[in-house]
Structures are given as structure tokens and as C-alpha cells.
A = this chain, B = another copy of it.
Amino acid sequence: MDNNPTSYADRASAFADGSDSPRVFLERCLTTIEAREPVVKAFVTMNIDGAREAADHSTQRYRAGAPLSPVDGLPVGIKDVIETQNMPTQMGSPIFDGWQSEGDAACITALREAGAIVLGKVVTCEFAAMYPGATTNPHDPERTPGGSSSGSAAAVGAEMVPAALGTQALGSITRPASYCGTYGYKPTLGAINRRGCHDHVSQSTVGAFGASLADCWAVTQAIASRVGGAIGYPGLYGAAVLTPETRPRRVIRLETAGWADASGGAKAQFEDALSRVDAAGVEIVDRRTSPLIEAFEQVIAGATPLTRRINAWEFRWPLAEFYQRGGDLMSPVMRQRLEDASNLHLDDYRQGIAERDEVRATYDALSRIGDVCLLLGATGAAPLGLESTGNADINVPASLLGAPALSLPLLSDAGLPLGLQLMGFHHRDEDLMGHARWVEGVVRP
């Protein structure tokens, strides 16, 4: 189904007939890691012995014709804000140097039950926010991998692992996926159980990076079908196996905040992708043809400042705790954020979440005029330098909306990867996947 040699989704028959095995697959990953990790620096902690042991068990299960799930034997990298009982969870902060949780996060429990291999913890920006770790972009070590799920995107982008878990509250999955040339999937808000995930804010969602759409889907389904969604949410809907390609009736073209800042190359690639959709006979609607879309683009224009306002209030209390624990080890940007937080008022937050509710309602109305929205996966290729994780404006709408989103590694900018972003509608993640498969078939160069 996919040409990516790291994709795990098409291995099952080879594992069953013995021409490949989860242990051999793991060794290929480890060889790649050995070759690339010194420059890419995606991992914080690894458990190679444990992974080999788990891969051997998985190998036996396939040989016995009894794999536990589609992700049995799949080596996965875990963003270092998600608790693992056998590896520290260090939050990208020296304040949590060596900090060991008491157990596994619910999503890790699920992955282990499904037979997946928790190979290691991967780099996160400090507290899943802005201040970057050491990871470099696997396509150019002078460039950022994006953030905050930096190590997750880089590990998959460097073909070290077929999948990794991340979290997104602004653009922490789709942006690094775009920069690193991987598939990135941010499910509908609340689709994945958040117990044991230190991501703190109400619009954050656990999601997956993958070497293929099928890998992203298999990992998230393996979790959601075992431990459900966040409490109070219905969890990820859909079947265990990736839905077939589904041609959309109409596609919505969105030019949200970030579009104006996009590079000329990125814009040209986006226009080219849309022309291919058009050439395939699918209608494209946009703000020029639909007042509903125009209205939505207006209310979503302030997505980034609104999100920052909401997150600033919610993140204030965790941050105060971290400061008390070791404020001198906190980044200057984070200390400033804590200082700024002293000016926040509850009524501003209330106004913020009320505005968010309104934007969500406006967005839901678009589901009647189109099946999927197309945007750029980032404003351009990963920028030079490791100090900033890049511009997330074009990634924030899906986070604010709580809508499912994908970044597909179909475009390029200045010879570097660029994602095509698809945004779907609440709880219709399976539709989004089906349309993504169709778009992929039409747009892939």
C-alpha cells in the first residue's frame, strides 16, 4: 500500500510466512537509529534490550498465527511527556531530569496490550510548549524539526521507527510532520485517553506520527479501542483497519492565518495540489464562492492569539508548580510566560472559551458544504536554525476547533518536505482518513 520501507502496515503477511519478522524489523530500525541518531538526536531514552525481548515475543505470535493486533511488534517512540513505567518522563526540562512516573499512561498500557514495542522516549520541547530540545531536522540538520513533538516527527522522518506518539495543543503534530516529511495525525479532541499525559491544556490531543496513513491509524485505534478517549469524550470512532479510499464530493480550500506568511514555493505547491483535485473532477469551494467559508475564515483569523489566551490561563497552575520545583532550571521564555500569567483574569479565560465554542459551531456548519478542508501543512519548509520551532499559525485552527487533522508528506518547498494539511469534522476521523487516501492518490507527484 505504500512505498515507504519503514511502514509497518503491510508487514503482516511477511511476518506470518517468516520472510520478515518483528525482530528483524526492529533490527532494521536499530541500524537506522545507530546511523542517524548522532545527528538527528530524536531520542531521550531507549530500552533496546526490552524492545528486542518484546520483538521476539511478537515474532512468535505471528508465527503462531496469533498476533495481538495490527500493531503487534510495531516499534514506537513516545513523546517524553507521556508516562512510561520503565523509562523516565523528563518533559524536555532539567527540572524533571530522571523523573520516573509510578506507572504507564493509559495509551502506553493500551499499546503494550496490543503488542506494540515501546522502544524509547523522544524529545519534546520544554513542557510540550516552545523551548526546543536538541533534535535536528532529519532532512537538514541546520533546520528545526518543528515542535513540540520534535523527536516524534524526526524519528519517523528519519525512518528510525514506523510510528511515534505526540500531542498537539497548537501545532505540535501537523507542523513537525510537515517539516520532517512524515504523516502526522491529530485526532478529534478527546479521541485518545489522556491519563498519564502531561499536556495540561483543554484543547490538547494525543496523536500519532507514522510512516504511512495506515500506521497512524493503526496506532491510534489500538489505543482508543482499548482505553477509550479522554474522560467525558466518546473516543475515536472507526474500525481497526484503515478505511478505503473515499472520493470527497466537495473540498473546501482554506486560507487561514499563516497563509499570508506562506512562502511562494509553498503556495505554488498548494495551488498545484488543488489543480490536481480539480482535474480529478472534485469541486473546490472557497471564500470566493461561499459566504459560509468567508465567515469562518474571519472568525478563525485570530486562532493563535485566542489559543494562547486560553492556554496561558490553563497552563498557569502547572507552570507555577514547576517553577516551585526548580524555577532556576526553567527557560527564560517559560519564566516570562509565568510572569505574564499573573496578569490573567478568569473573565478573560471565560470569554476565550466562549469564543472558542462559537468558532467551533461556525466550523461545524461547513460540514454541510464540503467533506474535507485543505490547507498547507506549514507555512513553508522547516526554517533554518534550531532556536525556534517555526510558525504554527496555519496549524492552530484544527487545535482550536478540536477537529481532526492530518499532514500528508506530499509537497516540497526549496527541496525540503512540506505537508498538505487536511482538516475534517468532529468525530468523523474515519471520513478524514478515507478522503486523505483519495487525496494522496491524486496529489502524489
Q: Which residues of A contact B (CB under 8 A)?
A: 102-104, 106, 109, 193, 195, 200-203, 224-225, 227-228, 231-235, 313-314, 317-318, 320-321, 324-325, 346, 349-350, 353-354
Inter-chain contact A202/B231, CB cutoff 8 Å: yes
Chain A, interface SS category: helix
The 5 closest A-B pairs by CB, nearest first: A202-B232, A202-B231, A234-B350, A106-B317, A231-B314
- Pairwise interchain contact B228-A313, C-beta atoms closer than 8 A: yes
Q: A202-B232, A231-B201, A346-B225 are in contact. Are A195 and B318 (CB under 8 A)?
A: yes
The answer for the CA separation of A104 and B317 in the assembled complex, in Å, is: 10
Assess whether B320 is in contact with A109, with CB atoms less than 8 Å apart.
yes
Contact B314 A235 (CB under 8 A): no
Known: A109-B317, A193-B317, A195-B317. A228 touches B349 (CB 8 A): yes
User: In the assembly, how many copies of this chain are there?
Assistant: 2
Q: Which residue of B lies closest to A349 (CB)?
A: B228
Cross-chain contact A102 with B325 (CB below 8 angstroms): yes
Contact B228 A321 (CB under 8 A): no
Bound CA–CA A349/B103 (angstroms): 25
Name 15 interchain pairs, CB-CB below 8 A, sorted by A: A102-B325, A103-B325, A106-B317, A193-B317, A195-B318, A201-B231, A202-B232, A203-B232, A224-B346, A225-B346, A228-B313, A228-B349, A233-B353, A234-B350, A234-B354
Given contact pairs A227-B317, A234-B350, enumerate 14 new A-B contacts (beta carbons under 8 Å). Answer: A102-B325, A103-B325, A109-B320, A193-B317, A195-B317, A200-B231, A201-B231, A202-B231, A228-B313, A228-B346, A228-B349, A232-B314, A234-B353, A234-B354
Of chain B, the residue at the smallest CB distance from A193 is B317
Chain B residues closer than 8 Å to A224, beta-carbon distance: 346
Residue in B321, B325, B349 whose CB lies within 8 Å of A234: B349
A193: which B residues are within 8 A, CB to CB? Answer: 317
- Chain B residues with CB below 8 A from A320, complex form: 109
Give complex CA distance A340, B139 in Å: 50
CA–CA, A233 to B353, complex, Å? 8
Q: How far, in whole Å, are A203 and B231 apart by their CA atoms in the complex?
A: 9
Q: How far is the CA of A195 from the CA of B318 in the complex (A)?
A: 8
Which of B200, B235, B324 sits near A346, CB closer than 8 Å?
Answer: B235
B-chain residues with CB within 8 Å of residue A234 when the two chains form the complex: 349-350, 353-354
How far is B109's CA from A74's CA once the two chains are assembled, in angstroms? 43
- The listed residue with most B CB atoms (<10 A of its CB), out of A109, A313, A314, A346, is A346
User: Which of A202, A233, A317, A320 is the most central at the interface, judged by chain B CB atoms within 10 Å of its CB?
Assistant: A317
The CA-CA distance from A195 to B102 in the complex, in Å, is: 17
Residues of B near A350 (CB, < 8 A) are 234-235
Which of the residues B103, B318, B354 comes within 8 Å of A321, measured between beta carbons? B103
Closest-CB distance, A434 to chain B (whole angstroms): 21
State the CA gap A325–B102 with chains docked (Å): 9
Note all chain B residues with C-beta closer than 8 A to A235: 346, 349-350
Once the chains are docked, how many angstroms separate the CA of A231 from the CA of B311? 9
Tell me whether B324 and A232 are in contact (CB under 8 A): no
Please, how many angstroms separate the alpha-carbon atoms of A157 and B77 in the complex? Answer: 52
How far, in angstroms, from A106 to B224 measured CA to CA in the complex?
A: 29
Residues of B within 8 A of A346 (CB): 224-225, 228, 235
In the bound complex, residues from chain B placing their C-beta under 8 Å from that of A317 are 106, 109, 193, 195, 227
Q: How far is the CA of A325 from the CA of B103 in the complex (A)?
A: 9
Least Cβ–Cβ distance between A136 and chain B, in angstroms = 33
CB proximity of A222 to chain B, nearest CB, Å:
13
Interface centre among A227, A232, A314 (most CB of B within 10 A): A232
Q: Measured between alpha carbons, how far is A206 from B157 in the docked complex, in Å?
A: 44
